[in-house]
Amino acid sequence: MVSVRIYVEGGGNSKDLQSRCREGFRKLIERTGFEGRMPSTVACGGRNKAYEMFKIELRSADVNKFPMLLVDSEEPVTMAPWDHLKSRDGWDRPAGAEDDQAQMMVTCMETWIMADREALRNVFGARLRESALFPAEDLERRSRVDLQGALKNATKDCGRGKGYDKGRRSFQILAELNPEILKESLSYFRRFIETLDRHLQETRR
């Protein structure tokens, strides 16, 4: 049985937010069809800590363990994932790391969130300004600053403390996302799910 553990950027230094981060990813992945063969998720806070924790796990992993790194790409991706992370963050590809152990939310988690308009409507209600959101096409080419700003702008009329922000609100929406909608328009989300499916095959048997 293969054990997959995902070291994800998110949750900051707060135990509450780290718990909400894990729960958001758990619900999204479970909804993708992995119930009964779920990976575990480690909310690491900052991206550098996620990379360091992934490297530690990789050094001790045997053939039955498959650690994965999942971080924001921070910028549009024009090269292979490990090459992107080397260019952008200065991270060396660890010895023995496979291509698909480097997974990215391109360019950030807000890309995933903006892709699912139905989930946004369910969370923010009638005051959501959908006209302020970007079209679903080419979302992975948008800058994280533009994506985050558009979500804040689209939800600014939702009431005090009810608009979009990173943290509790973002993880709440993450848990509501429909993975089938994300797979339609986000190639790096599809890559993430396909990698999970491939390495969790033996768990299903």
Mean pLDDT of the 74-82 span? 97
Write down the mean pLDDT value for the chain.
94
Q: Measure Cα distances from 97 to 79, 93, 109 in Å.
A: 17, 7, 24
Helix (H, G, I), strand (E, B) or coil at 172: helix
Q: Find out whether 103 and 192 touch, Cβ atoms under 8 Å.
A: yes
Q: In angstroms, rounded to a whole number, what is the distance separating the alpha carbons of residues 118 and 122?
A: 6
The model's pLDDT over 119-142, given as tens digits with 9 standing for 90+, comes to 999 999 999 999 999 998 899 999
The model's pLDDT over 164-187, given as tens digits with 9 standing for 90+, comes to 998 889 999 999 999 999 999 999
Q: Is the peptide bond before 195 cis (omega within 30 degrees of 0)?
A: no
The model's pLDDT over 96-124, given as tens digits with 9 standing for 90+, comes to 999 999 999 999 999 999 999 999 999 99
| Geometric angle at alpha carbon 110, from 109 and 112, rounded to 5° | 70
Pick the more confident residue, 38 or 168: 38
Q: In angstroms, rounded to a whole number, what is the distance separating the alpha carbons of residues 199 and 28?
A: 18
Q: Measure Cα distances from 91 to 43, 97, 139 in Å.
A: 19, 12, 25
